[in-house]
Structure 1
Amino acid sequence: MSLTPPAVQSSAPPPTAPLYLVDASLYVFRAWHSMPDEFHDAEGWPTNAVQGFARFLAELIERERPRHIAIAFDEALDSCFRNRLYPAYKANRPPAPDALRRQFAHCKALCRALGLVVLADTEYEADDLIGSALQAGRRRAHHGVIVSADKDLSQLLQGADEQWDYARGQRWTAAGVRARHGVEAHQIADYLALCGDAIDNIPGVPGIGCKTAASLLHHFGTLDALLARSDEIGFLRFRGAAQAAAKLRQHADAAQLYRQLTTIACDAPLGEGADGFARRDGDAQALSALCTALRFGPLTRRRLYAAAGLTWAPVAEA
């Protein structure tokens, strides 16, 4: 008789590999506003945004060595499905100047030259592309590392997923969302529907502020339950409960519309990412042409070539 004890089978799920999902627009805009305007391309156009974005990408790749990564861009500036639902959606934002739009095109070209998957669509925003990529990644045994400070994206977090505010060096999982925003990760869309989101021009329910929205969701759980049981709100112990109940009954349809706007779609077409998000080989010819046209300095060129898995040869470029 064998005295060897039976092997203990662990019920823990197998570890997943990180899939980095970068909210490109945030970092392009940040570079546009923070980098000096002394950088210009061979035709005299400004390149401060693409200069800053290139340095960000190089640093991210040097630091994390990601094997799976996708960069999501916003191309649905006024053609997103949300604009059809609510024409005032993001109508408070001025159009990007030509000098910046030109640099966005350079940033996408740079990502492709580095061998990174680019996500962009005229119907869906970058948030939707990130959500859809995360869903696809989970089916391939990935967990997400969402590189963005945007609070909307916290609604996507589950399990081992992380959100990373790169500039502040802060990372959090779904378990950390409540400490940051007062509600759970899965309540973010309902929360923004109630209290509004000025950045996206979503007004929310009149008279319902952030604290009231968080209190209501803490008690009722979801917007649907809140609206279905609105007669109970007046009995809750917070100032203005009766008025809040009346406002919610009056604006129930608007609240449900706003939730359609604040909920990230996870069924967007993934284009280049349809077959996965593994890094590809860098394109030496395309990268050389971009570095020359954008007049990148030798340090930036060397870092970009290294990020693409290539060796920079200044003599060969000359």
Structure 2
Amino acid sequence: MPESPVWLIDASIYVFRPWFIRQPPVLDTEGNPVNAVLGFLRFVYNLLQNEQPVEIGFAFDTSLQTSVRKNIYPAYKANRVPAPENLKYQFAQCRAFLDALGIVQTASVHHEADDVIGTWVTQQHARGKACQIISGDKDLAQLVGSHDHWWDYGKRTALTDGGVKREFGVWPAQLADQLAIAGDTADNIPGIPGIGMATAAKLLHKFHNIDNLLSRIPEIGLMKTAGAKRLQRLVEEHRATVLLARQLTGIYCEVPDIPHDLRRGIKDPVRLQALCELLGLTEQQFALWMAI
């Protein structure tokens, strides 16, 4: 690992994972379910205990309806079910707990957590710092530079830029193009029908990026690959879809009004103890959080 990297956390996935686990509900002292909060806090504690980051930021998502991508393509993530109120409550408690720990957490009204992390990556690279991008979302692998890692923490090994290439068949800088060609069902992003990630990788291996691909479409039919003429026809027919999708798959790296200083701050013991009591944590657990 690079020395003293900056840790950038795509927080929402680590709240959703315990939320989706089928288990008896755990209630806080006010009767609200907090299974997702407790699962998220286990993830946070393990990360802080094992990695001891000096600089760390957590990016959350807010309303999808105000996302700039939704303005570009109204069907963007239309397959997602809106979060119920008790999950919104748990997200709020997760963010409050991070605040009490003196850890930077933020969200943007118009940009997604991916874009917040992309902005942080750009800022940290300008400082000459390496980044640990913690997420289970492959989209964020497009941000990985030569000294960074993309890591679904606790689930798999960390990937360098070369690891991303081995995993997805393209370099990080090509991943947004690959997703635009193949589409992304998880985000309801259209692609070229009949072209998957592997074939998109083959196209990018030859043409390097979407601009080259779309300006040299006749050359697709000359490729030494099965169904080359069919590929040429598909790309020609779905040129507009690819260009639309590329507006959605790329990460925006200039989100305004987010914290720049990601150094861990001073804990708020009064607020932290109140949150521990609300969540039903013991005095011993409170002491562990204070000591970490």
One fold, TM greater than 0.5? Answer: yes
Tell me by how many angstroms 1:35 deviates: 6.8
The CA distance in 2 between the partners of 1:142 and 1:303, in whole Å, is 30
The CA distance in 2 between the partners of 1:199 and 1:62, in whole Å, is 32
Q: Which amino acid aligns with 1:237?
A: K
Contact 1:35 1:48 in 2 (8 A): no
Map residues 1-318 of structure 1 onto 2, 5 A cutoff.
17-34=4-21, 36-271=23-258, 273-274=259-260, 276-307=261-292
Contact 2:4 2:53 in 1 (8 A): no
The CA distance in 2 between the partners of 1:67 and 1:251, in whole Å, is 47
Report the number of matched residues. 291
Task: For structure 2, list consecutive stretches of 5 or more residues without a partner in the other structure.
Answer: none
The CA distance in 1 between the partners of 2:150 and 2:106, in whole Å, is 18
CA RMSD of aligned residues (A): 1.4
Contact 2:132 2:150 in 1 (8 A): yes
The CA distance in 2 between the partners of 1:81 and 1:214, in whole Å, is 27
The CA distance in 2 between the partners of 1:178 and 1:141, in whole Å, is 23
The CA distance in 1 between the partners of 2:283 and 2:179, in whole Å, is 45
Tell me by how many angstroms 1:34 deviates: 2.6
The CA distance in 2 between the partners of 1:169 and 1:115, in whole Å, is 28
4+ long deviations beyond 6 Å: none
Deviations along 1:105-127, one digit per CA (max 9) or x if unpaired, are 00010111111111201101011
Contact 1:129 1:270 in 2 (8 A): no
Deviations along 1:249-284, one digit per CA (max 9) or x if unpaired, are 12112101101100000001252x23x111101111
Secondary structure of 1:204's aligned partner: coil
Tell me by how many angstroms 1:38 deviates: 3.3
Structure of greater Rg: 1
The CA distance in 1 between the partners of 2:63 and 2:35, in whole Å, is 23
Q: Equivalent pairs: percent with the same residue?
A: 43
